[in-house]
Amino acid sequence: MQISQALNEGAPAASPQVARQSLLGMSFDEVEAAVTALGLPRFRARQLWRRIWRHGQTDFGDMTELGKDARAALAQAFHADRPMITSRQNSTDGTIKWLIRCHDGQEAEMVYIPEEDRGTLCISSQIGCTLTCSFCHTGTQRLVRNLTAAEICGQVLLAMDELGDWPAGKAERRLTNIVLMGMGEPLFNYEEVKKALLLIMWGEGLGLSKRRVTLSTSGIVPEIERCGAELGVNLAISLHAVRDDLRDVLVPINRKYNIKELVDCVRRYPVLSNARRVTWEYVMIKGVNDSPEDAKALVKLIRGIPSKINLIPFNPWPGTDYECSSDAAIDAFAKIVMKAGYASPVRTPRGRDILAACGQLKSESVRLRKSQMVAQAQAETSTL
């Protein structure tokens, strides 16, 4: 294991920034309104926009084309800072995990996973998670708060800074895909996630194709429908069980939206085709959900839906009672799935040495506001 760590890098989490408003979560129209409200001409908004979204600039002082007066006025009212990096860990397999700190001290994580044909950034949508999936490390950390659109975009822009990916859209870029599979349930923070993804996908923003963006959800049915209609991104569903009694335990939101409702809603997801399949995520837990009967029920359940199946070996974390299925059980399960026509379904865990693999993300923010979290948890369970 080779871990290199850097502390306290990036933009300072200085308090003066707090008073200034972030430009990163604003739509172009909002930026234009903000610029003209400062008494600046409208065309400055387009110049400013390009500096931020196409060139990744954060310091108004460097944006010389804007003119001196505009630079000074903007610097007083706004900022384009990324979250701060608290630590960076490099896995032996090339995976990088950053712990990032927002201006209020709350922390979240993001992970970069390089592969032969792509580089995927896994971003967080919340700090912690209100859901309590029993096998997930993040689930043991109650929600501290939703991330704002600026903080969600800030993760992507920060990763581009780190990976040397400016200007946006350059041919040899390292970040080609985004998955919302970090901390949090993105569909419980839908409005901010939507705002951020629209900026990331807009041609004048980062211009990332919606085919290169995947949103993973534990199954919030009404928002899956909105996501399909309004964003059209790829969908990944954390299924993990094929019987309601078991899924109620593994993924407790199942008590609100059960397997049948979930599968029916995915069947209606508008962008699905053989070229754009839904991904069913299925974590392999020893003696819990890994029998050949489960595999057969799985392929039967999703029959007729353009699908990929991702079998994820359970990634252990400190304090869990679950264990990863044996290689033999995973092989037997995978064989049944492959026989039904789904290719190479086992996901190789990445960044395991730095706890960056699926479900291992958890920040220390949980310790900061325990009383609030308890109140939040009570409110949450009463709505389930």
Residues assigned a catalytic role: 109, 358
Which one, 165 or 185, has the nearer CB to ligand SF4?
A: 185
The per-residue b/e assignment along 108-124, b for 16 or more CB within 10 angstroms, e otherwise, is bbbbbbbeeeebbbbbb
Nearest-angstrom CA–CA distance, 216 and 297:
22
Q: How far is the CB of 215 from ligand SF4 (least distance, A)?
A: 12
Which one among 31, 136, 206, 220 touches ligand SF4, defined by CB under 6 A?
A: 136
Residue 238 as a binder of ligand SF4 (CB under 6 A): the answer is yes
Which one, 136 or 175, has the nearer CB to ligand SAH?
A: 136
Neighbours of 336 (CB within 10 A): 18
Rg (CA), the chain: 21
Nearest-angstrom CA–CA distance, 329 and 335:
10
Which one, 137 or 247, has the nearer CB to ligand SAH?
A: 137
Q: How far is the CB of 312 from ligand SAH (least distance, A)?
A: 4
Stretch that binds ligand SAH, among 9-17, 35-43, 56-64, 213-221 (CB under 6 A): 213-221
Q: Which residue is nearest to ligand SAH (CB)?
A: 359
Nearest-angstrom CA–CA distance, 177 and 119:
6
Which one among 95, 124, 189, 218 touches ligand SF4, defined by CB under 6 A?
A: 218
Residue 135 as a binder of ligand SAH (CB under 6 A): the answer is yes
CA dihedral angle for residue 210, residue 212, residue 216, residue 221, rounded to 10 degrees: 20
53 binds, among ligand SF4, ligand SAH, none (CB under 5 to 8 A by kind): none
Residue 281 as a binder of ligand SAH (CB under 6 A): the answer is yes
| DSSP secondary structure of 130-166 | S---TT-SGGGS---EEPPHHHHHHHHHHHHHHHT-P
Which one among 23, 26, 52, 133 touches ligand SF4, defined by CB under 6 A?
A: 133
Q: How far is the CB of 131 from ligand SF4 (least distance, A)?
A: 4
Nearest-angstrom CA–CA distance, 111 and 124:
9
Residue 154 as a binder of ligand SF4 (CB under 6 A): the answer is no
Nearest by Cα to 189 from 210, 208, 213, 217? 217
Nearest by Cα to 224 from 276, 275, 266? 266
Q: How far is the CB of 320 from ligand SAH (least distance, A)?
A: 7
Question: Which residue is associated with the tokens 């951020």?
Answer: 196
156 binds, among ligand SAH, ligand SF4, none (CB under 5 to 8 A by kind): none
Nearest-angstrom CA–CA distance, 187 and 193:
8
281 binds, among ligand SF4, ligand SAH, none (CB under 5 to 8 A by kind): ligand SAH
Nearest by Cα to 283 from 346, 342, 331? 346
Residue 163 burial by Cβ neighbours in a 10 Å radius (0-12, 13-18, 19+): middle
Q: How far is the CB of 237 from ligand SAH (least distance, A)?
A: 7
Which one among 129, 266, 302, 355 touches ligand SF4, defined by CB under 6 A?
A: 129
144 binds, among ligand SF4, ligand SAH, none (CB under 5 to 8 A by kind): none
3-state helix, strand, coil in the chain (%, to 5): 40, 15, 45
By CB under 6 A, name the binding residues for ligand SF4: 129, 131, 133, 136, 138-139, 184-185, 218, 238
By CB under 6 A, name the binding residues for ligand SAH: 135-137, 181, 185, 216-218, 238, 281, 283, 312, 314-315, 358-359
